[in-house]
Structure 1
């Protein structure tokens, strides 16, 4: 049987969510097919967790030793949210070691983790999106200028962050400086985007059996001013699957989500967020390691699509092994 490493954690504030996501994967991998290992990559160390005991990961070859036996991994299922597992760092490292891994490759991971660069690529494919202004830390920025360009309200976001960490909705310029500080605490570069008034929809997309597959559309109804961390993970939102859209608009969202996935060269799990305004889906962001905890949207959409989560994981392992064959060419 193949040794499968389920890698979770990370170095950002999203590590707690990642650890929950990892548990869902551990619970759904078929133990009759695989030897499954829980791997934590955290700021205090890299460890395999076996029966509650920690065994240090050897960073030179991503193995660990148990009872004088060196354990190597045939495939890695990566469920780290944020750095270093969603921004391309771990993917590049595993590729150098020639260990196949789930999800998209290191370039796509780095690209999609950078909101500005993702928007730049998608602009070439005529994907509707909000107006935006990009600002680096230390630059002088005028709230009045932003208001003149984008109007009120607008959003202030870290350029590289997930789970809505560091995101603020600015309804009045009196809150602008506070929003900047909040975003810059997460990243040295920020994105300021115009407000899109419409229905928020999150769409699960993946490569399943060689085909770009849209799992389902989930409508997000936040109790807060927007779909922030509290709404996502602390029950302050209603998630409605399928989204309450007309058949025509639903089809438009599905087609746009698939177009985004393919335009960015994706593989593996993804969750793409849109605001449907005037019946047109406007791209917000794509998440290439979507949350897989009990509160997460992607597993709900898989269930709605009638695909067993264990089958999705088998598919990810198969894709990872096929990718390794391409490395050899």
Structure 2
């Protein structure tokens, strides 16, 4: 018999989001085991009561009290394989959303929810996902890749050519590291931020921001109702806005014409297919003067009660428990 195990925590900057996602997942899977992946690569068994009791998950680190059941990712996955476990991934960011964990699971034929390693790697790389989406006919903005440690001459030329820019790490999530570059002074911020990681620059597009989930529902891949992101003036959609509600409103479903809603859903489905995503994903777009433009795709988006996929599922009339059951069934069938 397959043991369902919710895996959460991890290494990345999105560890707090992961705990909040796990709280929601656990509330809909009361019989699942809970494993917390610590930053030291120890895996801690957690009770449902301990996880549910944790407050302010988006702001306060979760610190479980039990002894580790494994002291490395290899040891944890060997145990999962030996126990015939199916892993429900409540993980986000580096080490998980980038396809690394999926690859380790695939090598061991451990079933898991969410996209496979190739799709995860493509989706997490913002430059690569743009190229793949564009090849499927999804409109994208011009961009410039700034490699870690590069001098600022290319960025300065891109700013001169396009005007105000948005800079974001090529491989990150939850809007960590966003930089608004309105004039040459913003290049100093970019230089400091890109000293150790690659950045992607895009022209700033003024318009309405939307996020569109894609999910397998009753055996059919569907676009979920778009959610509009409305920011206060001079506020970026960063971690504080996204998860703490500071200067941001999320309107679900978006108050837009059916034709635009359908167009955004079609683009999200195309982006999902472009990278080979599996089960579910979430695509961010902005609708400017020339129409929708692709921003990025997330293959392991947040699943907390406050996250955008659960909001969109509710707007579509899909209970979160049904969504979770279908993702688990897809994981069971992953290897044929």
Scaled by the length of structure 2, the TM-score of the pair is 0.88
**How do 1:294-309 and structure 2 match up within 5 A?**
294-309=305-320
Distance 1:144 1:5, change over 3 A: same
User: Are residues 1:256 and 2:267 paired?
Assistant: yes
Q: Which of 274, 292, 300 matches 1:281? A: 292
Per-residue CA distance 1:267-305 (angstroms, 9 max, x = gap): 122111000113622100011111122331111111111
Distance apart, 1:140 and its partner CA = 1.8
Determine the C-alpha separation between the residues in 1 that align with 2:42 and 2:292: 41
Q: Which of 209, 221, 231 matches 2:218? A: 209
User: Are residues 1:235 and 2:245 paired?
Assistant: yes
Per-residue CA distance 1:228-261 (angstroms, 9 max, x = gap): 1111011121000111222221111111111111
The 10-residue stretch of structure 1 (228-237 or 37-46) with the greater mean CA deviation from structure 2? 37-46
Residue 166 of structure 1 aligns to a residue whose secondary structure is coil
Match in the other structure for 1:245? 256
**How do 1:5-16 and structure 2 match up within 5 A?**
5-16=5-16
The 10-residue stretch of structure 1 (202-211 or 125-134) with the greater mean CA deviation from structure 2? 202-211
Contact 1:158/1:191 (8 A) holds in 2? yes
Match in the other structure for 2:236? 226
Per-residue CA distance 1:100-138 (angstroms, 9 max, x = gap): 110111110011110111111122122111211011122
Determine the C-alpha separation between the residues in 1 that align with 2:21 and 2:231: 22
Q: Which of 33, 39, 50 matches 2:35? A: 39
Residue 226 of structure 2 aligns to a residue whose secondary structure is strand
Distance apart, 1:216 and its partner CA = 1.3
Listed as ranges, the gaps of 5+ residues in structure 1 are none
Contact 2:165/2:201 (8 A) holds in 1? yes
Determine the C-alpha separation between the residues in 2 that align with 1:279 and 1:245: 16
Distance apart, 1:9 and its partner CA = 1.1
Q: Which of 193, 197, 203 matches 1:188? A: 197
Match in the other structure for 1:145? 157
Q: Which of 304, 321, 335 matches 1:324? A: 335
Distance 1:61 1:45, change over 3 A: closer
Determine the C-alpha separation between the residues in 2 that align with 1:10 and 1:55: 14
Determine the C-alpha separation between the residues in 1 that align with 2:156 and 2:115: 40
User: Whose strand proportion is higher, 1 or 2?
Assistant: 1
Match in the other structure for 2:50? none
Contact 1:57/1:63 (8 A) holds in 2? no
Distance apart, 1:53 and its partner CA = 2.3
Match in the other structure for 1:28? 28
Query: What count of residue pairs does the alignment treat as equivalent?
Result: 314
User: Are residues 1:18 and 2:31 paired?
Assistant: no
User: Are residues 1:56 and 2:69 paired?
Assistant: yes
RMSD (Å), alpha carbons: 2.0
Listed as ranges, the gaps of 5+ residues in structure 2 are 48-64
Contact 2:224/2:265 (8 A) holds in 1? no
Distance apart, 1:225 and its partner CA = 2.7
Determine the C-alpha separation between the residues in 2 that align with 1:63 and 1:50: 19
Determine the C-alpha separation between the residues in 2 that align with 1:73 and 1:241: 38
Contact 2:69/2:76 (8 A) holds in 1? no
Distance apart, 1:214 and its partner CA = 1.3
Contact 2:133/2:270 (8 A) holds in 1? no
Residue 204 of structure 1 aligns to a residue whose secondary structure is strand
The 10-residue stretch of structure 1 (253-262 or 71-80) with the greater mean CA deviation from structure 2? 71-80
